[in-house]
Amino acid sequence: MAEGAAPGAATATSPAAGGVPTYDVAVVGAGVVGCAVARELAGFDLSVALLEARDDVGDVTSKANTAIWHTGFDASPGTLEARLVARGWQLLGDYAEATGIPLERTGALLVAWDDEQRDALPGLERKARENGYERCEIVDAERVYALEPALGPGARGGLVVPDEGIVCPWTTTLALALDAQARGTAVRLGHHVDGVEVGATHTRLVTSAGPVDARWVVGAAGLGADHLDRAFGHERFTVTPRRGQLLVFDKLARRLVDRVVLPVPTAKGKGVLVSPTVYGNVMVGPTAEDLADRRATGTTEEGLAGLLARSEGLVPALADEELTATYAGLRAATEHRDYVVEVDAAQRYLCLGGIRSTGLTSSMALGEHVAALLADAGVELTPRTDLPPPPAMPPIGEAQRRPYADAERIAADPDYGRVVCFCERVTRGEVRDALASPLPPSDLGGVRRRTRATMGRCQAFFCGAEVAAMLVEGARGGAR
């Protein structure tokens, strides 16, 4: 019962036996935004398809996010982004509590490293108020070091933002996708949209895995959003991928950093931050490099060396800690300063473009916004009263009770007491559950994002072979 068959869900109609199913709405792109939109729309009496080019959800920009749960205090006032991030902060916070998405209310500390930056703090506080966020507080250098004693020398002052936090981007995307699926959304992985044929009553999406028809199309295609937009005949924006390289330090470094430490933003972006992660690591980054290549997810020697030097300036004790991961992600930046969310009612098409890294926080608010826009455009939205409960996500956050530390779980199922990934303390039971889930991983990366297995400091030295074997066995089991 994977999709389309959830009780009470509207199902796609087939015009003729063996024909192409027609959905009320097809959402293109299963990143965090597409998953949130599909989940929201599947809460109404609509049949929804979620099409994803890759073999897993959240496998492009969503997986390499800086994982900050933003209040929106520093957004540009009056923008759609500012409004949706503030709203999304609330929605995601509540949803994380309901589902068990790892989320920690750490707070943030924006640090001024020179007098000019210090002089910019009152302006940032004002901007936060314009954004409706009232709880910022300017503090002196002494207070900065009292809050974050491991920071390097030179801080001149700071701005405390008590409601910023950190969240697991992988679990967030997966929870929204599973929820959408449980609500009846047809999740179609490996469906790359190659062409769009707009008809009188529905649009045919020509995909790498065959055609899909839908009355409405919602584009949430991230790095490919402009391509899809052009396929509908628009010339509204061009995605210029902005690469962000990141360093992840060993968990033993976690004691060095209690909250998200932000720099004073400049025109180039929000700058390099130091942040704890929900997995118990410390992350430093991102860089901000505008690129032409939408596939340039590799790190560079200069990028890594620059971040390492920066790390040691920001938190000198990081120099003695090991790096457990380096990676790069691409933000789907455009020439516009705001999100591009526009309805083309004539073609029954809604475009979501330029959703940058804040999209993780704003995703559920974007879902609400899309629903409201569709209603305005005449789509009949009847809320369902028979929705399944939200999914219960595996506790992969360090602030949660992990299975290896849960006596009751182990007593009920000894596989939760069989640690396979020692660095991250991931048990055989958790890997097994991930492989048996309704949206199973398609490769080792997918296992990593669902369980953290092989993500630790040994990088699979001890457990990689075991986890790979489970993946192969799981795939075989699934095929049987």
Partner 1 sequence: MSGVARRTVDVAVVGSGPSGLVAARRLAAAGADVVVLEREAAPGGVPRHSAHTGYGLRDRHRLMTGPAYAARLAEEADAAGATLRTEATVTGWAGPRALAVTSPAGLEELDAGAVVLATGARERPRPARLVAGDRPMGVVTTGLLQQLVHLHDRLSASRAVVVGAELVSWSAVLTLREAGCATVLMTSEHDVAEAPAPLRWLGPRALGVPLATRTRVARILGRGRVEGVEVVDTRSGARSQVACDLVVFTGSWRAEGELARTAGLQVDPASGAPVVDTELRTSAPGVFAAGNLVHPVDTADVAALGGAHVADAVRRWLEAPALPPRGVALAAEAPLAWVAPTVLRPGDRPPPRRRLLAWSTEARALAAVRLTQDGREIARRRLPWAVSPGRVLRLPAGLLDAVDLAGGPVRLTLD
Nearer to partner 1, 227 or 418 (CB): 418
The H-or-E segment that residue 283 falls in is strand 282-285
Q: In a 3-state reduction of DSSP, which class is residue 311?
A: helix
To the nearest whole angstrom, how small is the minimum distance from the Cβ of residue 228 to partner 1?
22
Residue type (1 letter), 91: L
To the nearest whole angstrom, how small is the minimum distance from the Cβ of residue 100 to partner 1?
20
Distance from CA of residue 429 to its chain's centroid?
A: 25
Contact partners, residue 352, CB within 8 Å, separation at least 6: 33, 37, 218, 219, 220, 225, 339, 340, 341, 366, 370
φ/ψ region of 221 (left if φ > 0, alpha if ψ in -120 to 50, else beta) reads alpha
Given CA atoms 479, 9, 34, 62 in this order, what sign does their dihedral have? negative
Nearer to partner 1, 22 or 297 (CB): 297
Contact partners, residue 120, CB within 8 Å, separation at least 6: 112, 264
To the nearest whole angstrom, how small is the minimum distance from the Cβ of residue 19 to partner 1?
34
Contact partners, residue 428, CB within 8 Å, separation at least 6: 415, 416, 418, 419, 420, 470
To the nearest whole angstrom, how small is the minimum distance from the Cβ of residue 260 to partner 1?
22
Nearer to partner 1, 209 or 465 (CB): 465
To the nearest whole angstrom, how small is the minimum distance from the Cβ of residue 445 to partner 1?
8
Nearer to partner 1, 43 or 244 (CB): 244
- C-alpha 39/C-alpha 43 separation (Å) is 6
What backbone torsions phi and psi does residue 16 show, to the nearest 5 degrees? -145, 155
To the nearest whole angstrom, how small is the minimum distance from the Cβ of residue 1 to partner 1?
31
To the nearest whole angstrom, how small is the minimum distance from the Cβ of residue 175 to partner 1?
24
- What angle, rounded to 10 degrees, do the helices at 32-41 and 169-182 form? 30
Active-site residue flag, 234: no
Catalytic, out of 70, 191, 202, 369: 70
Query: Which residues, in sequence order, are bridge partners of residue 258?
Result: none
Query: Which residues, in sequence order, are bridge partners of residue 341?
Result: 352
Nearer to partner 1, 135 or 255 (CB): 255
- C-alpha 244/C-alpha 116 separation (Å) is 25
Kind of pairing, strands 210-219 and 203-207?
A: antiparallel
> Would you say 283 and 323 are in contact if contact means Cβ atoms under 8 Å apart?
no
Nearer to partner 1, 11 or 326 (CB): 326
Nearer to partner 1, 242 or 409 (CB): 409
Binding stretches for partner 1 (CB under 8 A) = 248, 252, 295, 297-301, 303-305, 308, 320, 322-327, 404-405, 407-408, 410-411, 414-415, 417-419, 422-423, 425, 443-444, 457-462, 464-466, 468-469, 472
Kind of pairing, strands 186-188 and 157-161?
A: unpaired
> What residues act catalytically?
70
